[in-house]
Structures are given as C-alpha cells and as structure tokens.
Amino acid sequence: TMDQLLAGIPNLLDDITPDGADETDNEEVSVWGDRDALPKSLGWTDDFEPRWHDDVASALGGYKSEAAVQMSGARFVALSGEVAQLERAISMFFMDLHSSKGYTEVTVPLVVSRSTLEGTSQLPKFEEDLFAITGTSHTCNGEDAFLIPTAEVPVTNLHRGAVLEEADLPLQYVASTPCFRAEAGSYGRDTKGLIRTHQFQKVELVKICTPETSAA
C-alpha cells in the first residue's frame, strides 16, 4: 500500500551532513574538554590504567551479571549497592538538570502499540529489534503491543494527531525510563556498555519545535 511504501522512505538528511560510505567518513564537529589533560586533572598518576565500567562495578561487588543471565538470559545485568545507587543518582542528576533548563518532566507507559512505534519510525524497520508482547497476554486497544526501545516513542506520541499552535512551541520534555532492545543483529554485541544490553535506564530529551529553531 501507499502507507507501506512511505514508511520505507528514510528521513531526509540535513544539507550540512557530509557524504560518506559509513561511520569512518564521519567528521568531528566539536570536542568538549581536554582529553589528554583529564587524567592529571583527576589526580591520576602516569601508571594508572583506566578500567571498563563493568570491571569497576564488579570490584565494588555491585555487578550481578551472572545472576541476571541465569534469570533472564544473555545481555541482561543486575546492579546492587553503591553501583545501583550511582545509576539512580546519575538519572536523578540529569532529570533535575534538564528540569531546571525548562524541560517538563513526564512519566509515560513502557508498553506501546504498533501504530505508536510507526509514528516515530521505529516500525517497520526495527521490528526484529523490539520486544513484542504476546497477543494472548496484552494488546494496545486491539493492536500488537511492544516494550518501548526509548522514551522518545511514548513522549513524542503525547501529541499524536494534534495540531499544535506555533505560539506554544517549543515543547520540551524529559523522561527517565527503562529501555528494551532485542537488537537481533550483531550491532552492539561486542561493544562494552550498559546501553548495549537488552534493558537499560536512559534519560531522554524530546523537543518539539519549528524547523527554524531545530538546530538549537
């Protein structure tokens, strides 16, 4: 159908986007801070070797990867003690920071419908990367139900089907939610990082504005 054809068209790139075959052609736009000076500014000695976050968490006794895998399968983690407190503190810090900058804090559903995901272009392209809920356990108003891959999906859909007045823009939202990604392909499997797991916590910013102010 025409809707299916249109759904397969990717977003148009901004004119400032450089041409390139893959990520190796990316251009560095800006750098914040001095990476070379950071170790000394933190008091690290020349023989200090930075460790991966999961190694640090394990050393603190707060990284329960084996228990998580036993109950949920590969690429799930459980945190405890100081590590769990740190994750919560980081989320709270950024929620407070962005709220102080004029973003409205929202809480949103973690389960959304197929049409909701189509509205933010996660579907149809990324269906294999989503966690689907069986139709016998739950549907969203009769539609297929999925766990959200990012808070962007339900936050953006707060204004689904609405005509917004330009005078009311920009609308700025911040949300902290668990995110669920099956990532059926190889992308991320060999990359260390908590956002490369099937479930991770993320603070999301959504700004609804005019094209003229979208670069700000």
Cα 110 to Cα 28, 35, 107, 118, distances in angstroms: 34, 37, 9, 16
Indicate if the pLDDT at residue 54 is higher than 90.
Answer: no
Percent of the chain with pLDDT over 90: 63
Give pTM, 2 decimals.
Answer: 0.86
β-pairing verdict for 145-147 and 132-133 = antiparallel
Under a CB-based contact definition with an 8 Å cutoff, are residues 157 and 119 in contact?
A: yes
Task: Report the pLDDT averaged over residues 134-150.
Answer: 96
Q: Of the CATH numbers 3.40.50.1000, 3.30.930.10, 3.40.50.720, 3.10.450.50, which one belongs to the domain with range 51-213?
A: 3.30.930.10
Under a CB-based contact definition with an 8 Å cutoff, are residues 187 and 196 in contact?
A: no
Q: Where are the domains of the chain?
A: 51-213
In this prediction, residue 4 has a pLDDT band, given cuts at 50, 70 and 90, of confident
Indicate if the pLDDT at residue 195 is higher than 80.
Answer: no
In terms of phi and psi (left: phi > 0; alpha: psi -120 to 50; beta: otherwise), the region of 200 is beta
